[in-house]
Amino acid sequence: GDKVTHDGKSVSLPLPVDEGTGLGKPLKFMNRMQRQDIPIVIASIGPSNVEMTAEIADGWQPIHFVPDRFERVWGDALAVGNAKRSPDLGPLSIFGDAHLAIGETEDVTEAREGSRGHIAFYVGGMGAKSKNYYNDLFRRYGWEEEAEKIQDLFLGGQRAEATAAVPDEYIDAANLIGPESHIKKRLAVYKDVGVTHLTLSAQGANSLDDLAAVKSWIE
């Protein structure tokens, strides 16, 4: 392979003589490339960043994706960015994330509660009271009162109560947890809104089987 060198504004390879020992040398890439271009996927949720992502990136991977509500949150930003997008890039890939557990209600209770605790931590504790991007996102989805309650409880040290305050509606909308029939209906929703890839966090002892099942349903 070719030697790897870069002379950028923030990063230079190898390190310049005046910034290191002066012994740095460009190295050749050891691994054989499997494809010519490496896709650039950006995890953005703020309107300006989502607009930029739609304009310049190969893919968009927002966190806490709710397929039924993402248009109300990011629709305008995606439209503006896509309008400036080069045709050479092709369509923007969209990655939807979700916790996965397939089973009847009594079999997936632990997975539901795990997802509830996960989002409570982000909405309630990832940031200050006045500056929490995930709390803002929860509000933009339409759960303003719930976001306020979760954050107040979490920052007040009542984590169990904050977790319990996460609405079932969110758990059902943002995850693939439940019986096979429910999962298949939700997969159809992801497809209908334009999701091209799924990044799934499988829960429980049957995680590998669950992933294999979902793969077979979408192929």
Please check whether residues 148 and 176 belong to one and the same domain.
Answer: yes
What domain count does the chain have?
Answer: 2
Please check whether residues 30 and 49 belong to one and the same domain.
Answer: no
This model's pTM is above 0.75: yes
Please check whether residues 27 and 81 belong to one and the same domain.
Answer: no
Please check whether residues 25 and 43 belong to one and the same domain.
Answer: no
To which residue do tokens 């294999």 refer? 212
Q: Show pLDDT as tens, one digit a residue, over the chain (219 residues).
A: 678 899 888 889 898 888 888 888 888 877 777 888 889 999 999 999 999 999 999 999 999 999 999 999 999 999 999 999 999 999 999 999 999 999 998 899 999 999 999 999 999 999 999 999 999 999 999 999 999 999 999 999 999 999 999 999 999 999 999 999 999 999 999 999 999 999 999 998 899 999 999 999 998
Best CA proximity match to 120, nearest among 67, 161, 173, 73:
161
- What is the domain extent for residue 132? 35-218
Please check whether residues 30 and 40 belong to one and the same domain.
Answer: no
Amino acid present at 148: E
Please check whether residues 114 and 209 belong to one and the same domain.
Answer: yes
Please check whether residues 117 and 161 belong to one and the same domain.
Answer: yes
DSSP annotation of 108 reads S
Distance separating alpha carbons of residues 181 and 70, to the nearest angstrom: 23
Please check whether residues 137 and 50 belong to one and the same domain.
Answer: yes
CATH number at residue 56: 3.20.20.30
Distance separating alpha carbons of residues 69 and 82, to the nearest angstrom: 19
Residue 57 near residue 31, CB atoms below 8 Å: no
Please check whether residues 111 and 161 belong to one and the same domain.
Answer: yes
Please check whether residues 196 and 213 belong to one and the same domain.
Answer: yes
Please check whether residues 172 and 117 belong to one and the same domain.
Answer: yes
- pLDDT of 29: 78
Please check whether residues 25 and 41 belong to one and the same domain.
Answer: no
